[in-house]
Amino acid sequence: MNTTPRRPLAPYVGRPDRRGRFGPYGGRYVPETLIPALDLLAQAFDAAWRDTGFQQEYRRLMHEFAGRPTPLYLAERLSHKWRRGQIYLKREDLNHTGSHKLNNTIGQILVAVRSGKKRVIAETGAGQHGVATATVAARFGLKCDVYMGKVDVERQAPNVARMKLLGARVIPVESGAQTLKDATNEAIRDWVAHVDDTYYIIGSVVGPHPYPYMVRQFQRVIGEEAKRQFNDQIGRLPDLLVACVGGGSNALGFFTAFMKDACVRMLGVEAAGCGLKSGRHAASLSGGRVGILHGSAAYLLQTEDGQITVPHSISAGLDYPGVGPEHSYLKDSGRVTYTSVTDREALDAFSALAELEGILPALESAHAFAAVKKLPASVKRDHVIGVCLSGRGDKDMATVMAAREEARKNPKRKSH
């Protein structure tokens, strides 16, 4: 595994350089036909982000439509049971549509409308980004097509139904592994063919510049709210922040506001699936090498000759063979520590949060909680941990119940 940067890291300034790179990561590796569209998108986003009217409309929708700010909640029973300090949850599951994804789609739909687009497309794995895209498309009266791997269509049926009820067309992708990577491939092909009238709402901090930076900027509201809430509720900043990492938007949204606070440590949690040694995982930072996927350079799961390998996670939203370029930079710089947890550990954490706090977390978020449980038991009782509860677990009920039934039928089977 290559764990060293391909060139010396430039100082971190919180935004990409003029080439759209975070150090050696990011950039634009796309067909020439998309370069003008990406240039126009970067200009449109920069102009919108600096525009007071845009910011006012974005904040109004985030408050009146999305329901922000989301609460910061002390999980008292979980904290007492696990004895890892005081565990606070940033409740993105209470955001409209049930996850952090709407923060990004509200921002991008406003850019799309300003750009005169009449149709939006999206890729989705767990379905939460698809639901959030369908939601804003309905709100603004734009046509919406969502690409989703056939495997994910089957295991995320509730979100497929939501997208259809919202007026979106869900397009099952039957190529490759039929999951998120393949859905992204098809969405990019669609955009290349319809770039004049179509806006592609990418759901995470991945893809060609300006998407990784733009998505992060729309998600940073998570951490900005949390920072104020920690100061208001406990009078200081937390000692540790924890968030799951697939593409990585909820984690960067949570971490960015604290990046310059040296007293705050940060832990990103990837999906170890059946275990890193098994080869069946989705932990790009923990078990990958630097390569190029979907228009940018970052850590990827790939063979020695550069072929993308099939990822595995019980969580559809983490089942992706790459990660955002900013996360790749933060790994190499050491500012953020990255770890991974298995499917079994995530399921156990899911059960703990449900039974102790009355909250059903998304399986993505359950990975973050599993990492908290694995922290050393020697932490002080006043140690404050903030966890991004990125989404709710309604969508994962069939998966969780199937896993429990499998465990019941095979009680002696070794857990990963």
**Residues annotated as catalytic (active site), given as ranges:** 101, 123, 390
- For residue 49 the two structure tokens come to 């982000």
Which of 145, 147, 140 has its CA nearest to residue 116?
Answer: 140
**How many other CB atoms are found less than 10 A from the CB of residue 172?**
16
Which of 326, 338, 316, 365 has its CA nearest to residue 70?
Answer: 365
> 124 near 94, Cβ under 8 Å?
no
Angle, alpha carbons 246-248-251 (nearest 5°): 120
Which of 327, 198, 361, 181 has its CA nearest to residue 253?
Answer: 327
Question: Helix 101-114 to helix 52-64 angle, to the nearest 10 degrees?
Answer: 140
> 213 near 286, Cβ under 8 Å?
no
- For residue 238 the two structure tokens come to 């937390």
Residue 99 phi, psi dihedral angles, 5° rounding: -160, 180
For the chain, give percent helix, strand, coil, nearest 5: 45, 20, 35
Angle, alpha carbons 146-252-234 (nearest 5°): 125
Peptide bond into 5 cis (omega under 30): no
Run of H or E including 26:
strand 25-26
Strands (E), 237-391: 240-244, 265-273, 289-293, 296-300, 337-342, 384-389
| Measured distance CA(320)–CA(318) in Å, rounded | 6
Q: Which residues pair with 170 in a beta bridge?
A: 146
> 363 near 398, Cβ under 8 Å?
no
| Measured distance CA(17)–CA(42) in Å, rounded | 13
Query: Would you say how long the chain is, in residues?
Result: 416
| Measured distance CA(255)–CA(276) in Å, rounded | 25
- For residue 227 the two structure tokens come to 């920072």
> 212 near 14, Cβ under 8 Å?
no
